[in-house]
Structure formats: structure tokens, C-alpha cells
Amino acid sequence: MKKKLSIVLLLTILLSSNSVAFAATAPALTARETAIAKAYVKAYESGSSSAIKSYVYPKSTIKVNAVPDATKIKIFSPMYTKKYDSKTRMYYILISCVIASSDGTDLTVSKGTLGVNLKTKSKTVYAYSTNTTATKLTEIQVDDLTKVQIDKIQTYLTDTYDATTASKILFGSPKVSTATFDSPVPLGSTYTYDKSFSRIGDKLSGEFSITVNKVTDLTDVELKDIGYVKGSIEEENAEYYDYRLINVTWEVKDAKIIELAKNGPDASKYKNNVYKRYIRPILAGVTDAKDSKSYLNIYTLDGFDGSFQSNMNDKFKWSTLELDSTVSFTMTGNIILPVLNYTENYLRFGKVGTNTYDEDIYFKIQ
């Protein structure tokens, strides 16, 4: 899974006060100026100016970029330096720091500066306005970080999410070369193959990767809240079933149509494309690779918030992959899988079109 990684190494808050124009060397920060700088850091992290509101000059406004709901921003090891801008004749505070931004999947790291001007009224210093000329941000890769910086970011991500997610965000998922029933893909690892992939008779070539990111137990109450309806077999054998919410990532690179369905409900002499929303993995629960009766083909990937298919539908709508065209994408979402509670269960990715279970891909889910 490709990750774009960026950090803000120099965040500058420009804080200006009414000062004489001939000042050559800026004095040290006062306690109030330091408090203003710290308040701006909090405002930047939260995407809300409320954190610095009490320090803003009367009738002035300090604007910060809004932060999306799912995104977390953290500023590390800020260093404050008071400086003077001869053009505006104002003092400002330079804040040097590292900023990491993550939505739980990707990490953005940049370095640069931001600025806020200061102004004094009745001998009290206030944050007056944003200094746009001091804003200089540069994206960098995680490899450009020092070990100390990486350790701090990893600790923060671990506290915010968990250790597995933090490692994946920073370094990506571990790659494995085997995915058999006897040696299944470990939780959090990625298996990639480049053979043809079939779905309802349509065959695609390309590179396909699957990662089981996280597995969560579901109670009957949680199932009901999600909107899951148990089938008759599940109801009749309820004492043997538990349920898992499985978060998976499906990555497709350069998928291309190599054969269209010739028969069945999808076949048509007019058909020359495939709906992108249906380029998805065929999954099932399994307890025994040698016994087809052990397959629990009643997983649910649609119809609830965060579901895998809902995310596919939202992304692609009804767009199509045409003949002689390719598509690449990454999709993450949840599926609900019933499991037998008296034995170990696995998630199976079936390579449709093969007549043997030996070629299927198996993932650990506990």
C-alpha cells in the first residue's frame, strides 16, 4: 500500500507588536508571547481558532485551516523565536517544529513555516493577524525524518490508534510470499499476486493485493445496530456462531479486461466493459481447506456504515472499465463474517475460475 508521507518541520507563528522601526535584534519572548505561541499550536492542531481566541486582538481574526473530521494533526517539539519584520514594522514569533497529519491510513509530513502578527494595546500583546508571507511548507518523505522524530510520531500514532495501525501508517504493511491454508497471511500483512482475477465470468489481468488490517468481535446488539440480519442457518445454529467485523484493504494495479462473460446473467453480445465497483475480492470464511462444507459463504460486505462495497459504490458510482483500458485503485472497508466458535477460522479469497481450493488465498483472522 502506497503511502504519501509529509511533516511540517518549521511552523512559524508570526506575532507582531507595536514596536519602533529601528529595532535590530528581537528580545526574548515574554510569558504572554509564549502562551500565545502555544495557543496557536493548539489552534493549528485542532483546525479551530477557538484555542487562541482569548489572545486575539480586539475585533481581529486569526484564521487556521480546517481539519477534516477523521484527520489528526500533531505538532512535535516546537521551538519559539521572536523576530522583527521591517516591512510591516511588527514583531513575530517563529515556531520551528515537526507536524504529522494522519487519517488513520495515510501520513502527511511537511516542513515549513506559518506566521501570525502581534499587536500591542494598553501594554498587552495580542495575536493580530496571519502573516501569509511567512507560510512556507515542503512535503518530505518518512525516510527524511530522524530516528528521534520517527519515534515520537510512532508513539503518538500508537496512542491515537494502536501499535499495529501506527506501524502500518509509518512503514506500510509487511509483505508475505505465502498464503496457503497451512501458512496463512498473518493479520496486518499483505499478500500480492499477479495472475488473472475472475468475477462472474469476467477475467481481469493485473496486480492484486489484499490486507486484513483489523478484526473486531461483534455482539448481537452491535450486529442489530449495524443492520445485519441473520440467515435461517445462522438462527438455527446460533449457539455455534460468533461474528467478526473485518477491515480489509484491496489494492488493484493496472487491471485490464482479458475476457468478458460469455454466458450467465452478465453475458451480453453488447457488453464491452466491466463496472469498476464490482472489481472486488470474493471472500468467505473457512475452517478446513479440504472440506468444502466448512466454507461459510454468508459474509456481508454491503449495507452498513463503512462497509467495503458501500465505499466502492461511493468511489466509482457506475463508472466502467472499458476494453483496452486499465484501472488502479486502493479501497479499504469492513465486512461482517460469521465464524464457528468451536474452532479456528480463516478468511479465504477465492480465485474464481479455478477448480481447486489449493490455489485460494488464506488469511488469519484471530
Predicted TM-score of the model (pTM)? 0.59
**3-state class of 305 per DSSP?**
coil
* Angle made by CA atoms 51, 57, 60, in degrees to the nearest 5: 85
User: Hey, what long-range contacts does 187-191 have (CB within 8 A, 24 or more apart)?
Assistant: 187/212, 187/214, 187/215, 187/363, 187/364, 187/365, 187/366, 188/164, 188/212, 188/213, 188/214, 190/1, 190/249, 190/251, 191/361, 191/363
Full DSSP string of 275-338: EGGG----EEEES-TT-GGG-B---B-SSSTTBHHHHHHHHHTT-EEETT--EEEEEEEEEEEE
Mean per-residue pLDDT, 61-68: 87
The answer to whether the CB of 159 falls within 8 A of the CB of 337 is no
Backbone angles phi, psi at 279, to 5 degrees: -85, 80
Mean per-residue pLDDT, 151-165: 89
CA 185 to each of CA 2, 151, 290, 352: distance values in angstroms, whole numbers, following the listed order:
19, 27, 18, 19
Mean per-residue pLDDT, 341-363: 69
Query: Alpha-carbon distance 257 to 273, whole Å?
Result: 8
Which amino acid does the sequence have at 355?
A: N
Q: What separation, in Å, do the N-terminal and C-terminal C-alpha atoms of the chain show?
A: 22
The answer to whether the CB of 16 falls within 8 A of the CB of 118 is yes
Mean per-residue pLDDT, 224-248: 83
Q: Residue 12 pLDDT > 80, yes or no?
A: no
Q: Residue 299 pLDDT > 80, yes or no?
A: no
**3-state class of 106 per DSSP?**
coil
**3-state class of 240 per DSSP?**
helix
Q: For residue 13, give the DSSP letter.
A: B
Backbone angles phi, psi at 207, to 5 degrees: -115, 125
Query: Per this entry, what is the length of the chain?
Result: 366
Query: Alpha-carbon distance 67 to 86, whole Å?
Result: 33
More confident residue, 202 or 37: 37
Q: How confident is the model at residue 56 (pLDDT cuts 50, 70, 90)?
A: very high
Establish how many alpha carbons lie within 13 A of residue 349's alpha carbon, considering only the half-sphere containing its beta carbon: 25
Which amino acid does the sequence have at 325?
A: S
Mean per-residue pLDDT, 309-320: 89
